[in-house]
Amino acid sequence: MDATLPAVGEELLREIEKVFQETSRVPDDLLSALKFIFGASAVPALDLADHQSVTRIVSPSGRTVYQVLGSSGKLYTCYASCHFCSCPAFAFSVLRKGDSLLCKHLLAIYLSRALGTCHELTVSNKQLTRLLLMDESFSLS
Amino acid sequence: MAASAAPLLLLGPAASGRSALLFRAALAAASSSPDRVLFLAPRPFQRLPGGGEAGAAPGALQVRRGLSLRGCHLQRIQFLYPTSLQELLQLLASLHDILPSSPSLMVLDSLEEYLGSCPGPHVAAQLAALLLDTAHHFGQKRSLERAGCQLIVSMKFPGEAGDGAEQLSAIQRYFQAQCWLQLETQENRNSDGQGVAKLVRAHLSQPGTEDQEWMLIFEPREEMKISPVPCKSDSGTSSGSNKPPAAEVHHTLFWTSSGP
């Protein structure tokens, strides 16, 4: 994810990555900071990252997109370079109400990269095009 | 990734020179790099935006002045005309697969025409995000060589309320750099007393840079001219003394023969 987060969020994710590499856990103080900055999305996002629900998908062209398997079993698509997720919470809480910085799926992408739990998958260019269009009738499986 | 100007949203009322500025930016980019420029619009121009003589489709553009130079640069501009929101989304999502090389600049004219059929702000945001993501993809590929891929999108400023305002808000969150065009109420007589010149004030703002203004001058039968407006003192803010001028960031848009 190459989008811009507030500096404090970037700093926190770097700290989580560093501590997790050393101890294989996220200590309570960093968890509290995560909740403080990202609100209600923090714990579910950490859960998604912990359950290896994030996949970074790349095609031969180099174009990249993320898919996150939500807690309900539904797959959500997130763009790689800016904050956009196909989930309803992003449409409502982030875009419409503006009371959240990220939905839990976007935050899960950041966390999965910090924790090293992000899957990698290569697909064809045409398959990646369909993912970018968030074609719900399209499945990689 | 390579240094590249931030994605820019160009906003203004009808007949404020949005297409002329975009076309000028495309020509400037095409003249400064051997790489292609991608120009997306709902339909071909009926005549050259920003002055000059009329032509038909861009491939058959005829201009009296600077024909050979412009023709050479025009060849580097690839015009594509998605006619609907769905076609535009499809095109953006497939450009990584169908373009043989990365463009130095992506331009989209008349975004509002695509948003007319947009079901809501969520899809407007998806379109903006897909534009950014596409430019970012090309920028990353070009960063291996020398530069990024700039993105400039123009949009007619919508009404004050209703879906238009929500859509604009959803789109603005993706564009840190925004340029507002404002028609000046005063119209000056041309120097020879024939026709009137239209004046448009362009105000460019971007976090981390000083705001900057230009005056666009459209005189009858003349090409658009651009002149910088001297910076106003920063009344009300103490910021700016250490900020680079926005012109350095978006010189492509306001390129003039005498420099930005």
Q: What is the mean pLDDT of residues A35-51?
A: 94
Q: What is the pLDDT of residues B49-82, one digit of tens each?
A: 655 443 334 433 444 444 455 667 788 999 999 9
Helix (H) or strand (E) holding B170: helix B163-172
Q: In chain A, what residues touch B148 (CB-CB under 8 Å)? A: none
Please tell me the number of Cα atoms within 13 Å of B159 on its side-chain side: 5
Q: Provide the residue ranges of all domains of chain A, joining segments of one domain with +.
A: 7-133
Contact A95 B122 (CB under 8 A): yes
Would you say how long chain A is, in residues?
141
Answer whether B42's CB lies under 8 Å from B83's CB.
yes
In A, minimum Cα distance to B100 occurs at A61
Would you say how long chain B is, in residues?
260
Shortest CA gap A138–chain B (Å): 14
Interface of B with A (CB under 8 A): 1, 89-90, 92-94, 96-97, 120-122, 125-126, 129-130, 132-133, 136-137, 140-141, 166, 170, 173-174
Strands A64-69, A54-58: parallel, antiparallel or unpaired by DSSP? antiparallel
Shortest CA gap A52–chain B (Å): 24
Q: Among B92, B132, B173, select the one facing A81 at the smallest CB separation.
A: B132
Tokens of residue B19, six digits: 């297409």
pLDDT over threshold 80, residue B96: yes
pLDDT over threshold 90, residue A4: no
Q: Among B1, B90, B132, select the one facing A82 at the smallest CB separation.
A: B132
Contact A82 B1 (CB under 8 A): no
pLDDT on residue B248 = 47
Give the predicted TM-score (pTM) of the model: 0.86
Q: In chain B, what residues touch A1 (CB-CB under 8 Å)? A: none
Answer whether B182's CB lies under 8 Å from B11's CB.
no
Q: What is the mean pLDDT of residues B115-138?
A: 92
Nearest to A34 by CA among A6, A53, A54: A6
Query: What's the CA gap between A67 and A106, in Å, rounded?
Result: 10
Query: What's the CA gap between A100 and A79, in Å, rounded?
Result: 18
Domains of chain B: 8-238+245-254 (3.40.50.300)
Q: For residue A5, what are the CA distances in angstroms to A12, A36, A56?
A: 11, 15, 19
Backbone angles phi, psi at B17, to 5 degrees: 90, 20
Query: Mutating which of B101, B122, B168, B206 best tests the A interface, going by the most A Cβ atoms within 10 A?
Result: B122
In B, minimum Cα distance to A60 occurs at B97
Contact B93 A129 (CB under 8 A): yes
Contact A80 B133 (CB under 8 A): yes
* B66-86 CB burial, b ≥16 within 10 A, e <16: eeeebeebbebbebeebeebe
**What is the percentage of chain A residues whose pLDDT exceeds 90?**
76
Q: In chain B, what residues touch A90 (CB-CB under 8 Å)? A: 122
Higher pLDDT, residue B225 or A30: A30
pLDDT over threshold 80, residue B95: yes
Shortest CA gap B96–chain A (Å): 6
Q: What is the pLDDT of residues A80-132, one digit of tens each?
A: 999 999 999 999 989 888 888 899 999 999 999 999 999 999 999 999 999 99
Higher pLDDT, residue B238 or B212: B212
Query: Mutating which of B98, B137, B169 best tests the A interface, going by the most A Cβ atoms within 10 A?
Result: B137
Q: Find the range with the poorest average confidence among A108-122, B4-18, B190-204.
A: B190-204
Q: In chain A, what residues touch B93 (CB-CB under 8 Å)? A: 129-130, 132-133
Residue with tokens 């970012």: B136
Shortest CA gap B130–chain A (Å): 8
pLDDT tier, A50 (very low <50, low <70, confident <90, very high otherwise): very high
Q: What is the mean pLDDT of residues A13-37?
A: 93
Q: In chain A, what residues touch B166 (CB-CB under 8 Å)? A: 96
ipTM: 0.92
